[in-house]
Amino acid sequence: MKTYIGTKIVKASPMSRAAYNAYCCGALILAGDGADDGYMVEYTDGGKPNVTGHVGYVSWSPKEQFDNAYIFVGDVDGMPAHQQRVLAEKAELDKKTEALSVFIEDNPLFGSLVQNEQDDLVVQHDYMSQYASVLASRIERFSIAQQNTSPRTDDNAIEQEIQAKGLTAPRVTPADIEANIVREHYGTADQLTSVWLVNDKVIQHHRKNLALLTICVLVLRNGFTVTGESACASPENFDAELGRKIARENAVQKVWPLMGYALKERLYEQSAERAKLSN
């Protein structure tokens, strides 16, 4: 037999063998203990539907085999297929990067390798982290493209209150802020310091701590950049998507005073020009 690596994106729900049989057919068609754990799996990228109410081919997989074959990528309903593949690619890469990180930091075998091999593994980890950062930026743009059509909830509430009170004089709006952002980049501190990691044992020692600091860089229309950070105290609470969201919000808050000053300067210059003409 030849060896293959699975590449399909599927939907799955935890379901016992007996529950699957009852759901699909109403009769026990899969042999074995009906109480054993598993998943009902629906293949969304090919296969003729075989169960009413599903658009793809449906089957059942034992829990152990499913857990070893698939990685959870989150809620992708409504996302285009190419975006779903990017999320799946990121999830798989994160799992491999974390495994390599654990090997480098905690496995005694790493210390027994020749120095060149150790260095290469550290460099490999750095490149994988940078690759993951690129994918994270793309994924963030997928969601930001939709989220940014409406600003943050609290910004929206303030904007609605301003409009309700008829305050129509020149001002900076949430929409102005978003329109001024032309690019955004995300990364964790361990990724951003990767250039030093091979030879700096101190930074290597703190790699796990650096990985808890998420940094967002916003590039504005005129090329100026602002940054936002999100630090997580407990590693167990770290969530990459939430970290990027908080870091972005913190970066956006730095844009407000910059644009407020620019608007005030324009208004001042216009007032001075009018005064000069009147004289």
Confidence tier at 17 by pLDDT (50, 70, 90): confident
Q: Could you write out the DSSP letters of every residue in 48-63?
A: ---STT-SSEEEEEEH
pLDDT at 216 over 60: yes
Whole-model pTM: value is 0.49
Place of tokens 């203990």: 33
Question: For residue 145, how many other CB atoms are within 10 A of its CB?
Answer: 9
**Better-scored residue on pLDDT, 31 or 275:** 275
Quick one: how far is CA 188 from the chain centroid? 12
Q: Name which of 246, 227, 251, 229 is nearest 178 in CA terms.
A: 251
Instruction: With CA atoms as reference, report the closest residue to 226 among 193, 180, 189, 260.
Output: 180
Banded model confidence at residue 27, pLDDT cuts 50, 70, 90: very low
Instruction: Write the single-letter amino acid at 83.
Output: Q
Spatial distance between the Cα atoms of 232 and 244, rounded to a whole number of angstroms: 12
Residue 108 has pLDDT above 80, yes or no: yes
CA dihedral of 183, 188, 191, 194, whole degrees rounded to 10: 120
User: Which residue reads 């037999």 in tokens?
Assistant: 1
Residue type, 214: T
**Alpha carbon distance 147, 137 (integer Å):** 15
What does the alpha-carbon distance between residue 155 and residue 273 come to, in Å, rounded to a whole number? 33
Percentage of residues in the chain with pLDDT exceeding 70? 80
pLDDT tens per residue, range 144-180: 555 544 455 566 777 778 888 888 788 898 889 999 9
| Cα 56 from Cα 48, distance rounded (Å) | 6
